[in-house]
Structure 1
Amino acid sequence: MLFAVYCLDKPNSKDLRLSTRAAHLEHAKAHTDSIRLGGPLLTDDGEGMVGSLLILDMPDKAAVEAFVRDDPYFQAGLFEAVLIRPFKQILPAPT
């Protein structure tokens, strides 16, 4: 099942994001079989990172919650908010 995961960083957390980024990317790389799409949310000028957006293919919401809990960004307290919702892909049409 697909899930959209929207994570918004706490204000003024650039240093925390950058200091935990390598560990976060290692966590993500260990789950590439479940990640359909992922990357940072950017500031309006496209220069800074202010959150994360992922589309995950996992069996259920509990698996997604465990994935998020194990993310070094989450463990470091980077996120102000995390929203997890089931997602249905319409475009492009799934193969």
Structure 2
Amino acid sequence: MLFAILCTDKPGALQLRLDTRPEHVAHLNRLNEEDKLAFAGPFLDADGKPNGSLVVVKADSIEAARALAEADPYAKAGLFATVDVKPWNWVFNNPEA
């Protein structure tokens, strides 16, 4: 199953995001190597600066998807004000369909 992890950064946390980015990217690379990552990328504010994340993962359950979200270095660093994990169905332009 696919799960969308929707994260909103805390206000004023851009520097924390930048400082933690190498560990976050390494985490996503590990998920990709384990075939658990569908895709990921940041949300952007009006100035084009990142202010949140969208990560879509493959997991057997919502609990497993939540565990992946909690393991993200951004989450461990306290970057996010909110994290929402939702089951997701990739209907259009799915390369695996």
Could you state the TM-score of these two structures normalised by the residue count of structure 1?
0.92
CA distance in 2, matches of 1:26, 1:89: 25
Q: Quote the offset at 1:70 in angstroms.
A: 1.1
Greater CA deviation, 78-87 or 37-46?
37-46
Q: What is residue 34 of structure 1 aligned with on the other side?
A: 36
The answer for unaligned runs of 5 or more in structure 2 is none
Q: C-alpha root-mean-square deviation of aligned residues, in Å? A: 1.1
CA distance in 1, matches of 2:88, 2:6: 12
Where has structure 1 moved over 2 Å in runs of 4 or more?
A: none
The answer for unaligned runs of 5 or more in structure 1 is none
Q: What is residue 52 of structure 1 aligned with on the other side?
A: 53
Residue 22 of structure 1: SS of its match in structure 2? helix
Residue 38 of structure 2: SS of its match in structure 1? strand
Q: What is residue 15 of structure 2 aligned with on the other side?
A: 15
Q: Quote the offset at 1:42 in angstroms.
A: 0.7
Q: How many residues align?
A: 94
Q: Quote the offset at 1:45 in angstroms.
A: 3.2
CA distance in 2, matches of 1:73, 1:18: 10
